[in-house]
Structure 1
Amino acid sequence: MNQQKPPIPVAIPLFIGITAISFSSIFVKWSDSPVSIQAMYRLMITMLLMLPFCFKYIPELRKFTGADIVKLVASGTMLAVHFLLWMGSLQWTSVANSTIILALQPLFVMIGAYILFKEKTSLSAIAGMGIAFIGVFLLIGKGGLSGGGTHLKGDLMSLFGTMAVAVHMLLGQMVLKRIPPFLYSWFVFAFASIFLAAYNGLSGIPMTGYPPREWGIFLLLAIVPTVFGHLLFNWLMRYSSASTVSMSVLGEPVGASLLAFILLNETMNGLQVAGGAIVMLGLILFLYVRPSRTTSEEAVAGLSEV
């Protein structure tokens, strides 16, 4: 499909989107609320902001099948699990480690696409995947040693959270062949919110009574990284290739680490810098060597749904 001509240079919304998603981990660190509450209200507020634009998609609801609804529920559940694990990881490890590990999304999507769709990839992409995982092992190994086990717990939570969002993307890719992306996003956010509300209720976590500062952070999480980040990437997909948008996963760790240094006084040691650089090198190799828009690449572009 030929790309439309964008009304503004692609670099401008791409830079805005990368900057916006880089703030996500900062807001999570600033909040004193349970991560399940942050995630629930982030999604609920985003749903409310999206609602006025959903009405034009009402005729599309007739296309929904029972299988579509099952996949939407499963995708929303995996998104909720991702938020619980990844946002929770920030309580135990650094912003740099957590976001660098999160950048492994494309690799897990590729593995899932091979298992589910028998999609093959090149040896160069596999080599890039191997290089990236070596970098992650350096990050996790150093974190576990230097943090007395607490950093290791956070790194592993981020890793499992990244696996969960890869499953969410792959499920979404199946449904997006039949449902508009905007409508898909709204329903996935809805099912994820329901899951998180049930989790909070069963865990005895209060859903009200938070101070105005916390509600301000919930609003920031919805507007900045979600609307001006991930939903902006949805819009950008109309004017740019999936590979270009998927490269934003490389910008988030850089932006988030820089913001964490400025706003949270977080620093990285030499081994963490080396591990992060190796992860970025592997991901660049992985994302650039694929010649065409494959199922996994489309799913990677689905990070705009997260």
Structure 2
Amino acid sequence: MNRKPSTIPVPVLMMIGIVAISFSSIFIKWSAAPASIQGMYRLLFTSLLMLPFARPYSGALFALRKKDWIMLIASGIMLALHFLLWMGSLKFTSVASSTMIMALEPVFIMLGAYFLFKEKTAVSALLGMGIAIAGVIFIGWGDIGISANNLKGDILSIGGTAAVAVHMLIGQKVVVRMPSYLYSLIVFISASFVFAIYNLLMGIPFFDYPPREWGIFMLLAVVPTVFGHILFNWLLQFVSATTVSMNILGEPVGASILAYLLLGEQLTGLQWTGSLLVMCGLAAYLYAGRKKGKDIAPVLDNAS
């Protein structure tokens, strides 16, 4: 496949994207609002930013079948669950622990694809997966030594990672029938409604937040989404999906550095060991997938 060259060096754009998505967990930590409110407004504001560019996809919208709508809503529910659990995890554990666990998303997707669609995986990829999972165990072990709340945060992050994996597997089946932009927009809006219903049932106020919180909600929509995930999708016209997907290794590193500089968070020896194992395992997993010729394509509404 021939790709046109970028007027801006691709490594510079990738670095911008990595820094942007790394700020996601920092903004969440800075906010005092409930995770369900943060998630609702992040998705709502992102949807509003996307709507002006959705008109070319109106034809595809009316061509959707009832089954497609059911799958889209299910995907939205899982995306909302992902944000609820992952954002909630940051109330209890460190940015580094939470984002390292979230980086295991491709592994969860691989496991889901095996059990749901009987997709086979190379032995080298399984080895990488095993190393990454061992790393998560080390992170959890290290967090136990800090407090029970840290371990609770790790468990929430694992749940959030599993939820986003299911969301991505649903999307894999639906996106073949519609443009990915339209898929993302509908899922974002669906997840926003799920959050609205959740907040209503739980009695969580919708509007009683200071201006600083509203600024953080908007930053969550703009920085990690527009300058992160949307930028990565745009880069697919210049580089392969595998190259772009390797940025998943950059987010935990970037987020950990930012958490150290902006939040004063530090890691224990066990957490550093676990983080290194996660990164090495994921690198091996993604490299094995590349050799097999199956790219891991980034999706606009990916995780963080």
Q: TM-score range by the shorter chain?
A: over 0.9
Partner of 1:15: 15
Which residue is equivalent to 2:136? 136
Aligned-partner Cα distance in 2 for 1:30–1:57: 36
Question: Match of 1:272?
Answer: 271
What SS does structure 1 have at the residue aligned with 2:176?
Answer: coil
Partner of 2:299: 302
Q: Which residue in the other structure is 2:233 paired with?
A: 234
What CA distance in whole angstroms lies between the structure 1 residues aligned with 2:281 and 2:300?
Answer: 19
Q: Deviations over 1:16-42 (max 9, x none)?
A: 111101000000000011110011001
Instruction: Encode CA deviations 1:235-294: one digit per residue, 9 max, x unaligned.
Output: 122322221121111101100000000000000111111110010000000001122453
Please give the secondary structure, in 1, of the residue aligned with 2:33: coil
Q: Which residue of 1 aligns with 2:76?
A: 76
Q: What secondary structure sits across from 1:207 in the alignment?
A: coil
Amino acid at match of 2:54: C
Tell me by how many angstroms 1:61 deviates.
1.4
2 CA distance for matches of 1:179 and 1:263?
41
Specify the alignment match of 2:210 in structure 1: 211
> What residue is the counterpart of 1:25 in the other structure?
25
Deviations 1:45-93 (A, max 9, x none): 1111111100111111133111111111011110000000000000100
Report the counterpart of residue 196 of structure 2 in structure 1.
197
Q: 3-state DSSP class of the match of 2:281?
A: helix
Equivalent position SS for 2:296: helix
**Whole-angstrom CA distance in 1 between matches of 2:7 and 2:293:** 23
1:18, 1:248 within 8 Å by CA — same for their partners in 2?
Answer: yes
Per-residue CA shift, 1:72-126, capped at 9, x if unaligned?
1011110000000000000100000000000000100111111222211111000
User: Partners of 1:305 and 1:128 in 2: how far apart?
Assistant: 22
Q: Which moved more, 1:90-99 or 1:136-145?
A: 136-145
Q: Report % sequence identity.
A: 56
Does 1:248 find its partner at 2:271? no
Q: What is aligned with 1:105?
A: 105
**What is the RMSD of the two structures over their aligned residues, measured on CA atoms?**
1.4
**TM-score normalized with structure 1 length:** 0.95
Contact 1:132 1:282 in 2 (8 A): yes
Q: Residue 86 of structure 1 contacts residue 161 of structure 1 at CA under 8 Å; is this kept in 2? A: yes
Q: Deviations over 1:192-235 (max 9, x none)?
A: 00000000000000001211000000010010011111111121
Letter in 1 for 2:166: V
Equivalent residue letter for 1:218: F
Shift of 1:303: 6.0
Q: In the aligned structure 2, how far is the partner of 1:7 from the partner of 1:179?
A: 30
Aligned position for 1:127: 127
Displacement of 1:5: 3.5
In structure 2, relative to structure 1, the CA distance for the partners of 1:18 and 1:141 (3 Å cut) is same
Match of 1:162 in 2: 161
Distance across 2 between alignment mates of 1:250 and 1:191: 29
Contact 1:139 1:276 in 2 (8 A): yes
Secondary structure at the residue paired with 1:302?
coil
CA distance in 2, matches of 1:175, 1:142: 39
Query: Any conservation in 2 of the 1:63–1:178 contact (CA below 8 Å)?
Result: no
Instruction: For residue 297 of structure 1, report the CA deviation from its aligned partner.
Output: 2.3
Asked if 1 retains the 8 angstrom alpha-carbon contact of 2:141 and 2:270, the reply is no
> TM-score, normalized by length of structure 2?
0.96
Unaligned runs of 5+ residues in structure 1 are: none
